[in-house]
């Protein structure tokens, strides 16, 4: 693929941290880099200029939600995701695998449980069956996933369909369809789901038609080292342009980082690596130390909307009365648009008054804060100080 490339520019002598450049048809991304989440082709509360102002260089949209609203077809007619959302930088789309997991397991049990498997049953037959109970939101078959839409109708998502939707959306980087297992899944089920993910990875590659999009394979295997090693070996043996680490990563932060490092050590050095769904401020130094090139998370903008702002001491709850007459910026060391122009007192007022401007200003700050952490580490790697 001549329009996508990745080059490593600097490596740390003390860890797996590295800097590099992702080149895509819509521009380059200096890595390591945080990927801003724009689920519905929009980073919530922010326009493209705001996202640029927060120093983000790449945005990730959600395949499942754009498919659910049939917006993927509209995006195709528009000429692709970047043109549709008026974002002139690189873009990613996830595969929809995590949303299938959350639609079924998480919907029933918050954290989730294993889905039912129907060996030998035909996908088409299952999708039209009359005896699927209302409580059974999703069925995972070797052919794909059958699930209920919010209006009660059944639909099917297969590797081929996921790739087709992502090609309609037209992001620069897309992910192979995978099965995301519950943190409560057993070793036996995690192995079965991993093997299915490997089959789906091959089918995703075979389904890909466009030459101007990169395709990443996803390493699964739950919290088990042996499964993660097997998955890393299998996925890295396939001709993907890069790799994602997804699925359940253990039940503690310590275990999550152990698994991320374990997988990174088993992936090819010359290809980019993305960690899916991880990116709190405190996570970023360790993610980069372990070798992550890119990573995404909804946390910065979601926490901002809920009244939590990032500061060097940790978190600021903007709703607290102590902020009512505090005329200092959110964080005195932050140079974002919000901190340079507005006070804690004003953000407190906006939040308590439910003024829409709050969401924009708070989201700009949190996203800028995350990007500043990442940018600072990137510079330290270049200088040999990380």
CA distance 206 to 270: 23
Determine whether the annotation assigns residue 339 to a binding site.
Answer: yes
Given the residues 55, 94, 241, 293, the one annotated as active site: 94
Tokens 């998502």, residue located: 157
Determine whether the annotation assigns residue 49 to a binding site.
Answer: no
CA distance 170 to 167: 5
- 186: alpha, beta or left? (left if phi > 0; alpha if psi -120 to 50): beta
Q: Give the Å distances, CA to CA, from 198 to 227, 288, 299.
A: 12, 26, 29
Determine whether the annotation assigns residue 178 to a binding site.
Answer: yes
Whether omega before 222 lies within 30 degrees of 0, making that bond cis, reads no
Given the residues 50, 168, 296, 331, the one annotated as active site: 296
Determine whether the annotation assigns residue 365 to a binding site.
Answer: yes
CA distance from start to end of the chain:
33
CA distance 300 to 369: 9
CA distance 278 to 226: 22
> Which helix (H) or strand (E) segment is 39 a member of?
none
Determine whether the annotation assigns residue 12 to a binding site.
Answer: no
CA distance 36 to 295: 9
Determine whether the annotation assigns residue 376 to a binding site.
Answer: no
Determine whether the annotation assigns residue 97 to a binding site.
Answer: yes
**Are the beta carbons of 359 and 351 closer than 8 angstroms?**
no
Half-sphere exposure of 274 (CA within 13 A, CB side): 31
241 annotated active-site: no
296 annotated active-site: yes
Exposed e or buried b per residue across 251-262, where buried means at least 16 C-beta atoms within 10 angstroms of its C-beta:
eeeeebbbbbbb
Determine whether the annotation assigns residue 180 to a binding site.
Answer: no
Determine whether the annotation assigns residue 79 to a binding site.
Answer: no
Q: What amino acid positions are annotated as catalytic residues?
A: 94, 296
Cite the annotated binding site for substrate by residue number: 94-98, 178, 220, 247
Cite the annotated binding site for Zn(2+) by residue number: 334, 336, 339, 365
Cite the annotated binding site by residue number: 94-98, 178, 220, 247, 334, 336, 339, 365
């Amino acid at each position: 693929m001549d329009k996508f490339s990745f080059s490593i520019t600097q490596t740390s002598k003390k860890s797996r941290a590295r800097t590099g450049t992702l080149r895509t048809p819509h521009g380059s991304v200096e890595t390591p880099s945080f990927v801003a989440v724009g689920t519905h082709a929009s980073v919530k509360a922010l326009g493209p200029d705001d996202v640029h102002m927060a120093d983000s260089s790449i945005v990730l949209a959600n395949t499942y939600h754009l498919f659910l609203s049939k917006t993927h077809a509209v995006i195709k007619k528009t000429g692709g995701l970047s043109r549709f959302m008026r974002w002139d930088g690189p873009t990613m789309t996830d595969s929809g695998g995590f949303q299938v997991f959350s639609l079924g397991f998480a919907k029933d049990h918050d954290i989730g449980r294993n889905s039912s498997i129907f060996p030998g049953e035909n996908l088409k037959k299952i999708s039209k069956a009359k005896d699927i109970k209302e409580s059974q939101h999703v069925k995972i078959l070797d052919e794909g996933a059958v699930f209920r839409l919010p209006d009660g109708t059944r639909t099917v998502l297969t590797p081929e369909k996921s790739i087709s939707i992502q090609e309609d959306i037209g992001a620069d980087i897309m992910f192979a369809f995978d099965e995301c297992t519950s943190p409560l899944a057993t070793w036996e089920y995690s192995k079965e789901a991993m093997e299915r993910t490997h089959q789906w990875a091959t089918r995703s590659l075979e389904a890909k038609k466009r030459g101007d999009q990169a395709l990443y394979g996803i390493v699964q295997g739950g919290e088990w080292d042996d499964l993660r090693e097997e998955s890393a070996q299998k996925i890295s043996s396939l001709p993907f342009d890069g790799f994602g680490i997804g699925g359940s990563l253990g039940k503690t932060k310590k275990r999550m980082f152990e698994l991320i490092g374990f997988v990174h050590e088993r992936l090819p050095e010359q290809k980019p690596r993305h960690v899916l769904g991880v990116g709190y401020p405190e996570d970023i130094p360790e993610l980069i130390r372990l070798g992550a090139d890119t990573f995404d998370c909804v946390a910065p903008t979601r926490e901002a909307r809920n009244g939590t702002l990032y500061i060097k001491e940790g978190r600021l709850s903007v709703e607290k009365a102590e902020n009512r007459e505090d005329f200092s910026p959110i964080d005195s060391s932050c140079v974002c648009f919000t901190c340079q122009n507005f006070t804690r007192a004003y953000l407190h007022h906006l939040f308590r008054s439910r003024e829409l401007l709050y969401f924009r200003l708070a989201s700009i700050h949190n996203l800028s804060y995350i990007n500043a952490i990442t940018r600072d580490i990137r510079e330290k790697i270049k200088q040999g100080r990380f």
